[in-house]
């Protein structure tokens, strides 16, 4: 029979990772289940090279750096990490424990559950042109993680969204040459002085252009061919053409929802006893959709889970105790 955990966290973004850390601090046997192949959630996808200002103690921290620190913090308490699994069903057993079933049929057993999976899972839309399947993986990227891998390289970004624009501007500082391909006549979801930064950059911008073909050797991508016949030499291709969103299954799990989110009180308890929530999935009066809010909710959810498992346990622990535990 599969191992029984005290807490199973659904979602390995920044909120899920901090939840795992604090769960470990409360001496709870913890598992994290993440659908994506990497930890970090939306911060890794959308803000890796953007500064984040809403986390206390940081005058500004790059998304990638924040993810790396939160990941290191979580791993310090040695939770079990499961990647590439999407939870399709959550069932409460007669003994009060839970069975979580993934899309592959894998089952996970837990005394409590903390939902930290936002508004649902998502996949980035894959590039579908001649040669894209051949050069996928090493040469085609759907996130800009590890910026230094592009040092001195030629890079092409395909996007009509602010995400791609941000990537191109970040790459300008390390790559030898950067091209930005936009199939539309304008960029979507831009704000502030983004377009002005792009105009004054060295990024080569191609508007109303589409990639038709990728060419290269058996081991390396060498060039892309645009629909106007133009050839652009490149070593790496970064693609952001939107998301394929799979909405949350919270209502199917038996949770009361409100427009796709889970209403809670200050204890972060859902309508199903033993299931708690933190991060974007939670909703309550004056809710703020900030990373810092997710961290606070994570602590409240873990403390509630601890009390659910052991009603005699302390309601919370303090940072001095936590650091002694880590050391």
Find out whether 234 is annotated in a ligand binding site. Answer: no
| Residue 8 known to bind ligand | no
Separation in Å, CA 15 to CA 32, 178, 203, 273, 280: 11, 33, 34, 21, 9
Residue 324 marked as a ligand binder: no
Other C-beta atoms closer than 10 Å to the C-beta of 69 total: 15
Tell me: is residue 35 an annotated ligand-binding position: no
Q: For position 162, what pLDDT does the model report?
A: 87
Among the listed residues 236, 215, 212, the one whose alpha carbon sits nearest the alpha carbon of residue 226: 212
d(C-alpha 315, C-alpha 122), whole Å:
35
The pTM for the full model equals 0.79
88 is in an annotated binding site: no
Q: What is the pLDDT, as a whole number, of residue 319? A: 60
Per-residue pLDDT of the chain (327 residues; tens, 9 = 90+): 479 999 999 999 999 999 999 999 999 999 999 998 888 888 877 777 778 898 888 898 988 899 999 999 999 999 999 999 999 999 999 999 999 999 999 999 999 999 999 887 777 788 888 888 887 767 898 888 778 889 999 999 999 988 899 899 999 999 999 999 999 999 987 877 889 999 999 999 999 999 999 999 888 899 999 999 999 999 999 998 877 767 778 998 999 999 889 999 999 999 999 999 999 999 999 999 999 999 999 999 999 999 999 999 988 887 655 555 554
Phi then psi for 283, rounded to 5 degrees? -140, 140
Domains of the chain from N-terminus onward: 4-122+244-326 (3.50.50.60), 126-241 (3.50.50.60)
Q: Is 114 annotated as ligand-binding? A: no
The answer to whether 9 is annotated as binding is no
């Amino acid at each position: 029979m599969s191992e029984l955990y005290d807490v199973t966290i659904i979602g390995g973004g920044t909120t899920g990772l901090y939840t795992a850390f604090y769960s470990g601090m409360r001496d709870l046997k913890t598992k994290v289940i993440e659908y994506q192949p990497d930890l970090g959630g939306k911060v890794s996808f959308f803000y890796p090279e953007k500064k984040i200002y809403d986390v206390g103690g940081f005058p500004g921290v790059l998304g990638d750096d924040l993810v790396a620190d939160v990941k290191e913090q979580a791993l310090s308490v040695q939770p079990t990490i499961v990647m590439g699994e999407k939870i399709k069903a959550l069932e409460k057993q007669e003994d009060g424990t839970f069975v979580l079933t993934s899309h592959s049929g894998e089952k996970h057993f837990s005394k409590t559950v903390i939902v930290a999976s936002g508004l649902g899972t998502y996949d980035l839309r894959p590039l579908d042109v001649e040669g894209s399947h051949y050069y996928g993986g090493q040469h085609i990227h759907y996130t800009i993680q590890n910026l230094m891998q592009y040092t001195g390289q030629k890079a092409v970004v395909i996007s009509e969204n602010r995400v791609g624009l941000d990537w191109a501007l970040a790459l300008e500082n390390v790559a030898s040459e950067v091209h930005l391909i936009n199939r539309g006549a304008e960029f979507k979801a831009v704000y502030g002085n983004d377009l002005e930064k792009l105009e004054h950059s060295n990024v080569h911008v191609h508007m109303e252009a589409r990639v038709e073909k990728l060419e290269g050797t058996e081991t390396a991508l060498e060039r892309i061919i645009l629909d106007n016949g133009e050839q652009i030499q490149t070593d790496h291709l970064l693609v952001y053409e939107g998301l394929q969103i799979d909405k949350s299954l919270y209502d199917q799990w038996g949770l009361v929802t409100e427009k796709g989110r889970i209403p809670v009180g200050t204890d972060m308890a859902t309508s199903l006893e033993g299931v708690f929530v933190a991060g974007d999935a939670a909703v309550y009066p004056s809710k703020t959709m900030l990373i810092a809010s997710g961290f606070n909710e994570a602590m409240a959810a873990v403390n509630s889970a601890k009390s659910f498992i052991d009603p005699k346990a302390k309601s919370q622990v303090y940072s001095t105790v936590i650091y002694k535990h880590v050391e």
